Structure 1
Amino acid sequence: MTLGSRIAWDDTILPFQLDRSDIRGRVARLDGVLDAVLEQHDYPPEIEALVAEAALLTAMIGQTIKLRWKLSLQIRGDGPARLIATDYYAPTKDGAPARIRAYASFDKDRLEPRVNPFDQIGKGYFAILIDQGRDMTPYQGITPIAGGSLSACAETYFAQSEQLPTRFALSFGRSTERGSPESWRAGGIMLQHMPKASPFASGGGSGEGGLLEAQDIVDGDDEENWNRANKLLDTVEEMELVGPSVHPTDLLVRLFHEETPRIFDSQRVEFGCTCSADRVRQSLSIYSSKDIGTMTTDEGIVTADCQFCGAHYEFDPRTLGFEADVPPDDGE
């Protein structure tokens, strides 16, 4: 895709609400954060596309939840694309950016270049995990891989696990601007019916394998409002989603002016990893000195690499585990 003049809305998430329809939503635009996520690795195009889609979904979903710490997406399958994992870290204070990181595990020899990236996941599950920090019980919701895309999996998750009608319209890929190198860019819109005390759907749904879909959990005026908003979203064009020449507020007015859109403060997003030597040391604190010995290299050190950002750590094995007999060196 070739892009026009740039506006200052990259790497942001814009919350909005459609008052007439009782629907909330998000507009997301990612470019620099995607490049930062993907440049940590040398992924083939099929895996890059899955990571880009997962990161975009994570940005929008994470911003809808009042997080104290972290929301994660995990997509696991039995195909060549074994795992796509993302984390969204909530802002630590007002005005601070949210942070996103992501990585993939895949079997390079089994990848099929001319096959749809989603089909390379195979059978598996789509999971959302919410960690609200110390002394809080983590939450995990899981649905089967279904629907033909990661965004369809996310829609099924919200219908099946949360009873919330949800819709995503996404666009992502490599973009070029005159005089600039090729880079990744993604944009999308999320619609979600506002939570309410409605009857909990039971029995089989109309989705793949009997899974619930949005139409299974709305009726009456809610169904009419939901269908109307979705028909308006159907008119969005790919270049309107990815920008950067279309302002998100202008896009919302163009799509939903009859639904009385109300716009809230935007949220900045950046690449960020929480790995550190202390965190690695803590993760190894459950092991005995014998266990640590099996991790020690011929050079007499224990090494660890962050799968998200590629940071490399080296430790003196005597400083690791619950039987450590030498205090850690601050310079380690």
Structure 2
Amino acid sequence: MRPFLFSKSSAINQALAKKNGTTQYIAGGTNLVDLMKKHIAEPESLVDITSALPAKIEVTAKGIQIGAMVRNTPLANDAIILAKYPLIAKAVLAGASPQIRNMASTGGNLLQRTRCPYFYDVTTPCNKRKAGSGCSAIPGENRMSAIVGYSDQCIAVHPSDLCVALAALDASVKVQDKSGKTQSIAFTDFHRLPGTTPERDNNLPANALIHSIEINENAFAKNCAYVKVRDRDSYAFALVSVAAALNLKDNQIVEARLASGGVAHKPWRWLEAEQYLKGKTANAATFEAAADIAIKDLRAQSHNGFKIPMLKGAIETALQQCLNR
């Protein structure tokens, strides 16, 4: 880790005033410190923003607002989240270890970088680390890599569990610039697919910070599930994950939400499968048909073909678990 200057900011505009090409912000530090140790991130200065960001969960006229500095543990244990947005808690508790959840911030969770082994190995080419250098995963070890939405520049996947649930719940990301002006970005538009610019993970404006996450009130609290398939039950990243939520009326599906992690460069919504589920009877045959729709156009890499049937099973399991209130 290279030496760096360290300072603290107590307000977003104050923190943004310190921003330059060699500055990075730190909140929980659960991802950034790893990147600094590996010489992937080498900031000349770090700005601590733990006092600059809101750290409250608040009920609003439309739903709920989660401050960017709310740490993962209190988020997963909050009474309002558990009562009205339990899918959030399920996803958070499926990710990381208790120690990391105690430190990790909501805003930082959205900004964490891929865990592709080639991204973390500075001796290998990686377009996310150095644009134009190549993607070592395509001809190499790609067991954990993407099966949808990738390009010939990058096949890395987004690592967050929380973000999968936020995508399923149609959350929005509230960002603030140094003038105090805020704007809202739909969660499905916040993260990017790799395309020809895999070094860009998200659409956070250059001179802004995440202020909070907003979720509108919905009817998914009673019937939702998060299924994560991984190499070990303890702390491990998803091979595939599924956030599922159903709005049911007399066992008929009024509305459905399906999103996945471990399959793409961003949390992935299965919109066609969601549309199919709408109006159908909630049963095993319906769930299997929806899973078939989700996987029909997927293209695996050389070492991760197993992910496609695994995903199909995870979607069916998550939908079935939605019926267990």
TM-score (norm 1): 0.24
* Bigger-Rg structure (1/2): 1
Larger fraction in strand:
1
TM-score (norm 2): 0.24
